[in-house]
């Protein structure tokens, strides 16, 4: 490890000492403002709290077009059950294990601390050929891209942007999916179940779940879908009225657990148990990767009077709605082998005798396909007599495989490493998509060092790839300055 690599690691360690969970970026912002002031760089914030640092070019390269280095200031704050870490005040404790660095029982914050450290390290190398730089550090990326959505046209001078928020060395990301959440609401039809009916709880659990973009192609089961299929197989006329149903925790996660409460004749409980056991066996065969999948039927204490429940027809309507809503891969990319182009996620449901709310999430690499996927959800809602609304969306970053910036990156990477890089797109959101919608003439690419298990306490950073990426970034900036 040479002097430049040691400085890069020192910057990453300094950044890691500052608490910077989403919506708590004030400390790290002030640190970078002080860092910039100490080097004579101009730093300013916008109304959303995003930070922009202007770095002068190396001597002799004043006429070179400017380049933006971009990452986000916040990190996901997760820890093990045994950890006593306080993310509002405690520094991240780094542990080196061979070529890897991890944190002590918490997320590491390499997502996206590596971008902050790389940008700062390159900016400090004042005698290396490079163009004028803008270091764009956004806030609140991890909870909905809210910082970058607040960018204003005209704030950035450069028209070449390098996003440093990718996670595999040697892979250039040139596109990402756009996303849209559609929420369905309906006022259920109620009809009290007779007094003396048994109350049973049907649970589907133990599923793998996963990220609704990155993991949607891995043939993982959706707990809400399995619950609806089980309920559809159990129901007979006038029996098994729904009292409540719920499942899913986040818009961008495949549901791992779901539960329904039913009112039914006591004499039918054993039949329901057998049906649940049969469904569990069927689902285990259908989803072999779900090794801990289970279905259970538990009886709850009966109420003295009539039970507040949905009518038999309304119970059927809810089950049919969950069955009909699209989930999973809808289309594969024609340009990238194995990459999902368009998908849907039945993300969350909360149903009671008073209300129904279902949240779906659609993703696609093109806006037209995203519109079509969303329209399918709206059509199903309309057929169910429900209303819908769009609650959150961001545009796709559609890949441009003829990009001159991509050609230059590939050439410089081959010169630096004697290896051929891969080119890919991501079936998840990157800030490039938002920036490209605000600055349509911006040429962009994304890359980063190898990191694993982001957003979990198992997150770790491969140090050699981190250091090699600094060398590549320096060479790329020199090439861009000379262009």
Nearest by Cα to 296 from 318, 325, 274, 315: 274
User: What are the beta bridge partners of residue 242?
Assistant: 262
Residues 8 and 467: beta-carbon distance below 8 Å: yes
One DSSP character per residue, 15-78 reads HHTS--BTT--HHHHHHHHHHHHHTT-EEEE-TT--EEEEEPPPTT-TTSPPEEEEEES-B---
By annotation, the residues acting in catalysis are: 74, 141
Q: Cis omega before residue 198 (within 30°)?
A: no
343: its two tokens? 């998908």
Distances (CA, A) of 335 to 8, 57, 355: 36, 37, 43
Distance CA 331, CA 365 (A): 10
Residues 113 and 91: beta-carbon distance below 8 Å: no
Residues 404 and 443: beta-carbon distance below 8 Å: yes
Residues 142 and 72: beta-carbon distance below 8 Å: yes
Paired sense of beta strands 443-446 and 160-163, if any: parallel
Distance CA 159, CA 441 (A): 7
28: its two tokens? 């790290």
Paired sense of beta strands 178-186 and 241-247, if any: unpaired
Distance CA 444, CA 140 (A): 21
78: its two tokens? 């997760």
């Amino acid at each position: 490890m040479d002097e430049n690599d040691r400085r890069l690691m020192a910057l990453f360690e300094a950044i890691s000492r500052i608490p910077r969970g989403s919506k708590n970026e004030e400390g790290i912002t002030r640190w970078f403002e002080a860092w910039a002031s100490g080097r004579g760089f101009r730093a300013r914030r916008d109304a959303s709290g995003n930070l922009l640092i202007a770095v002068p070019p190396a001597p002799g390269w004043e006429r070179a077009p400017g380049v933006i280095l971009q990452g986000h200031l916040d990190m996901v704050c997760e820890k093990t059950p045994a950890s006593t870490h306080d993310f509002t005040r405690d520094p991240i404790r780094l542990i080196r294990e061979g070529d890897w660095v991890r944190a002590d029982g918490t997320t590491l914050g390499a997502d996206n601390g590596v971008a902050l450290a790389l940008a700062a390290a390159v900016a400090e190398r004042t005698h290396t050929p490079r163009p004028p730089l803008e270091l764009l550090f956004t806030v609140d990326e991890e909870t909905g891209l809210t910082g970058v959505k607040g960018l204003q046209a005209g704030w950035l001078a450069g028209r070449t942007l390098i996003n440093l928020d990718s996670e595999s060395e040697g892979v250039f990301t040139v596109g990402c999916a756009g996303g849209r959440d559609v929420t369905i609401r309906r006022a259920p039809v109620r009809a009290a179940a007779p007094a003396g009916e048994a109350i049973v709880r049907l649970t589907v659990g133990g599923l793998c779940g996963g990220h609704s973009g990155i993991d949607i192609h891995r043939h993982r089961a959706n707990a809400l879908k399995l619950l609806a299929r089980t309920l559809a197989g159990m129901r007979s006329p006038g029996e098994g009225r729904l009292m409540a149903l719920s499942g899913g925790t986040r818009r961008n996660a495949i549901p791992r657990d779901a539960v329904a409460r039913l009112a039914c004749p006591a004499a039918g409980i054993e039949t329901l148990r057998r049906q649940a056991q049969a469904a569990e066996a069927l689902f285990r065969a259908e989803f072999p990767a779900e090794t801990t999948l289970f279905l259970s039927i538990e009886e709850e204490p009966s109420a003295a009077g009539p039970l507040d429940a949905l009518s038999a027809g309304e119970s059927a309507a809810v089950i049919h709605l969950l069955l009909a809503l699209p989930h999973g891969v809808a289309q594969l990319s024609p340009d990238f082998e194995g990459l999902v182009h368009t998908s849907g996620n039945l993300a969350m449901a909360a149903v009671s005798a008073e209300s129904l709310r279902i949240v779906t999430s659609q993703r696609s690499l093109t806006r037209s396909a995203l519109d079509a996927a969303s329209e399918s959800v709206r059509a199903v809602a309309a057929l169910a007599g429900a209303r819908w609304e769009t609650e959150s969306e961001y545009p796709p970053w559609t890949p441009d495989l003829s990009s001159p910036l991509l050609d230059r990156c590939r050439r410089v990477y081959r010169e630096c490493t004697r290896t051929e890089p891969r080119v890919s797109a991501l079936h998840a959101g990157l800030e490039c998509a938002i920036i490209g919608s605000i600055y349509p003439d911006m040429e962009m690419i994304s890359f980063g060092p190898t990191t694993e298990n982001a957003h979990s306490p198992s997150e770790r950073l491969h140090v050699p790839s981190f250091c090699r990426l600094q060398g590549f970034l320096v060479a790329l900036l020199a090439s861009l300055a000379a262009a």
